[in-house]
Amino acid sequence: MPRLLTVAAAQLGPIQKAEDRPAVVARMIALMRAAKARGADFIVYPELALTTFFPRWYYEDRAEAERWFERRMPGPQTQPLFDTARELGMAMSFGYAELTPEGRRFNTSILVDRSGAIVGKYRKVHLPGHAEHDPTRAHQHLEKRYFEPGDLGFPVWEFEGGLVGMAICNDRRWPETYRVMGLQGVEMVVLGYNTPTANGHSRAETLEDRMFHNRLSVQAGAYQNSTWVVAVAKAGIEDGHHLFGGTLIAGPDGKIVGELDHEEDGLLVHACDLDATRFGKETMFNFAAHRRVEHYGLITQRAGVGAPLGRR
Ligand code: ING
């Protein structure tokens, strides 16, 4: 009997600055009900799912950005989402901006079981962009201004009959993200993202470039760790700024089993056989049999590039 986890990748279309949390939560609940009707047991929403992608906006006073953060989870405005999840017996994961009681700020995602209990939390480790307003850039990307790097590592939880871990957006581009979870036996990585199509860099990338790198990053992570990867976009034009879609699910062989081709609220539902991860973990990516950690030291000793090790 295959160990199936039927997951719904719940893409969100644009969220405008003017749209309040109750309106967004209503959209998320509608997606949850539709996912239930399509047989899903686990729904995954994007990064910063409750608000517009506010790190595109510069606030000289960081406290002004606190309007985009959640002080409690669930709070009064998100409680209906948890109530509906419990009513439907739906597990879920979503991202939000976390403001802790101590005043620390993280780009966070959570795992919530079918009873509505928060059983896991992850805080985004790889923060892209910059911390100060950069007048040379056409578009600001200020996650380093508004968030601290995550302090929880890359945990994996026993969840819904499998081993599930989380990542957030830029994390999906770094092989270390998947490998740390792979070394915990992860069978499904769920992640949300907000990826702008325009950038402030001099070398312009096309939308096709962005979509290629999205697929490449997710497929490689899935294949090289023999895990399912569920990658969910917030997409569309938010106050004139375009985020691309590309919501997809990759199987443990790295092949894409489904992908959305629009930029609105929408579902990609797939019955993921968690036992399909076994073959890769027992053959090509049997880490214990093939990895040679004595040669991997630089990966944790150096953050940036250092002197070459080759000697004449
Ligand atoms: N977004 C982007 C991402 O990694 C980015 C950052 C912007 C990457 C532009 C490449 C080009 O998909 C977040 N939120 O990490």
Asked if residue 295 belongs to a domain, the reply is no
Q: Where are the alpha helices (DSSP H) in 38-119?
A: 79-88
- Mean pLDDT (the chain) is 96
For a ligand 1 pocket test, name from 195, 201, 207, 210 the mutation site with the most ligand atoms within 8 angstroms of its C-beta: 195
pLDDT average, residue stretch 156-162: 98
Pocket of ligand 1 (CB under 6 A): 128, 141, 169-170, 173, 193-196, 199
Ligand 1 centroid, distance to 249 Cα (angstroms): 19
pLDDT at 137 over 90: no
Contact yes or no for 181/156 (Cβ under 8 A): yes
Asked if residue 184 belongs to a domain, the reply is yes
Asked if residue 292 belongs to a domain, the reply is no
pLDDT tens-digit map of 98-122: 999 999 999 999 999 999 999 999 9
pLDDT at 204 over 90: no
- pLDDT value of residue 203: 65
Ligand 1 centroid, distance to 290 Cα (angstroms): 33
Parallel, antiparallel, or unpaired: how do β-strands 105-112 and 91-99 relate? antiparallel
For a ligand 1 pocket test, name from 122, 170, 248 the mutation site with the most ligand atoms within 8 angstroms of its C-beta: 170
Answer yes or no: 47 catalytic.
yes
Among 36, 98, 160, 169, the active-site one is 169
Ligand 1 centroid, distance to 9 Cα (angstroms): 19
Angle at 273 between CA 188 and CA 162, to 5 degrees: 45
pLDDT at 198 over 80: no
Contact yes or no for 239/51 (Cβ under 8 A): no
Asked if residue 74 belongs to a domain, the reply is yes
Q: Whose CA is nearest to atom 15 of ligand 1?
A: 170
Angle at 87 between CA 85 and CA 90, to 5 degrees: 35
pLDDT average, residue stretch 224-251: 98
Q: Whose CA is nearest to atom 5 of ligand 1?
A: 195
Asked if residue 307 belongs to a domain, the reply is no
pLDDT band per the 50, 70, 90 thresholds, residue 200? low
User: Which domain range does residue 129 map to?
Assistant: 4-285
Query: What CATH number did the domain enclosing 206 receive?
Result: 3.60.110.10
For a ligand 1 pocket test, name from 48, 141, 217 the mutation site with the most ligand atoms within 8 angstroms of its C-beta: 141
Answer yes or no: 169 catalytic.
yes
pLDDT band per the 50, 70, 90 thresholds, residue 231? very high
Asked if residue 309 belongs to a domain, the reply is no
Ligand 1 atom nearest the C-alpha of 143 is 14
Asked if residue 162 belongs to a domain, the reply is yes
Answer yes or no: 17 catalytic.
no
| The dihedral formed by the CA atoms of 171, 172, 178 and 181, expressed in degrees to the nearest 10 | 50
Q: Tell me which long-range contacts 280-283 makes (C-beta under 8 A, separation of at least 24).
A: 280/223, 280/226, 280/252, 280/253, 281/185, 281/226
How far is 207 from 212, CA to CA, in rounded Å?
A: 9
pLDDT band per the 50, 70, 90 thresholds, residue 199? low
- pLDDT value of residue 85: 98
Counted residue by residue, the chain has a size of: 312
- pLDDT value of residue 1: 85
**Which is more confident, 2 or 219?**
219
Per-residue burial over 196-212, b if 16 or more Cβ lie within 10 Å, else e, is bbebeeeeeeeeeebbe
Domain count, the chain: 1
Question: What H or E segment, with its residue span, contains residue 210?
Answer: helix 207-224
Asked if residue 303 belongs to a domain, the reply is no
Residue with tokens 């999205």: 214
- pLDDT value of residue 258: 98
